[in-house]
Structure 1
């Protein structure tokens, strides 16, 4: 069996599920929204890099840097969208931290 034989989407989902508790460790409702944003950006960076390598299949070539940039940018946009309700103007955490 080779990497190209596996479902990349399934791998990415499994890796994301595994690393999220580590990246977001200690982050709860009491933490300021900025900390959530920073952790989400870090998570996007990690997942973008992993996704790029997995998309290469069995061999990682010299174009990996461009692929990492694309995948990381895509992940950042996806995480921003998913966190918008929580962290955006009027978001649950943003409202919790208003004085």
Structure 2
């Protein structure tokens, strides 16, 4: 079996599920939004690097750097969208902090 034989979606989901609790450890209802955004950016960086390498397939070459940059950008955009729903005006976490 090779890396290219793997279901990349499943693999990335499993890795994300493993890293998420570590990156967001200690986050609670009193955590400031700026720290949540910092952690989201860190998670994007970690997952983007992993995805970039996995996207190379069976052999990692010079293209890994471009793939990592694109993957990090994709992850940051995805995280920003999700966190805007939570932290933006009227977001579910914004309401918690107003209580």
Gaps of 5+ in 1: none
1:23 deviation in Å?
A: 0.1
Cα-to-partner distance string for 1:65-91 (whole Å, 9 max, x where unaligned): 111100000000001111111111222
Higher relative CO (Cα under 8 Å, sequence separation at least 6) belongs to 1
| Number of residue equivalences | 99
Cα-to-partner distance string for 1:40-73 (whole Å, 9 max, x where unaligned): 0100110011011111111001111111100000
TM-score under structure 2 normalisation? 0.92
Counting only pairs closer than 5 Å after superposition, residues 64-83 of structure 1 correspond to structure 2 as: 64-83=64-83
Gaps of 5+ in 2: none
Kept after mapping to 1: 8 A contact 2:56/2:63: no
1:96 deviation in Å?
A: 3.6
The answer as to 2:3 corresponding to 1:3 is yes
Over the aligned positions, Cα root-mean-square deviation in angstroms equals 1.4
